[in-house]
Amino acid sequence: MPVLSNLRWERFANNVAGGMTQVEAHKSAGFSAKHVDSAASKLAGKPEVADRIKELTARIAKATVRRVAERVAITKEIIIQELWENAQRGKDVRGGSAVTNRALELIGKEIGMFKEPEAKAPTKLDELPQEVLESMLAEAEAKIGPPKDQAPHDPAPPKVN
């Protein structure tokens, strides 16, 4: 949504989105009224002002979340570093081998050390077992029927007059 054409309405919307009460925002935007409460409420109720407040509030919330996330970012690097430190500390503690082993296991999993090798699927027909080939052929024939140039297996008996 673009900036509101009325500059005082825009200031009001910015102030409300920024955390001011409607009355404070109304006064701060340069409005004066006998009944400030009702005037501020009426202005906030205008569809274009209400939409602008929603948009600005969403922007502020999104920016706040981004800033907080940057400050307390938990990255893979931090986790792996902490696990490594746990593994090192576990070596120095009696009975700490379980801590050390678990930390090293988690690090190993993260870097892909413990993946089972994937079974390589055959890429050529001659790599398939005979039973599999026969099964595939029978399945295909059942779907499409016998070849056209070949007579059916059970021909009908000849007609006798």
The tens place of each residue's pLDDT in the chain, 161 residues long, gives 789 999 999 999 999 999 999 999 999 999 988 999 999 999 999 999 999 999 999 999 999 988 887 777 777 888 889 999 999 999 888 888 899 999 999 999 888 887 777 777 767 878 888 888 888 888 888 888 766 666 555 566 666 66
82 in a domain, yes or no? yes
Give the C-alpha separation, 116 to 113, whole Å.
9
pLDDT of residue 5: 93
Residue numbers of the domain that contains 84: 76-110
1 in a domain, yes or no? no
154 in a domain, yes or no? no
120 in a domain, yes or no? no
Give the C-alpha separation, 17 to 22, whole Å.
10
pLDDT of residue 151: 57
Give the number of domains in the chain.
Answer: 2
Of 45, 71, 97, which one is at a domain's C-terminal end? Answer: 71
pLDDT of residue 154: 59
Same domain, 80 and 67: no
Helix (H, G, I), strand (E, B) or coil at 93: coil
Chain centroid to CA 23 = 40
Same domain, 32 and 48: yes
Same domain, 83 and 104: yes
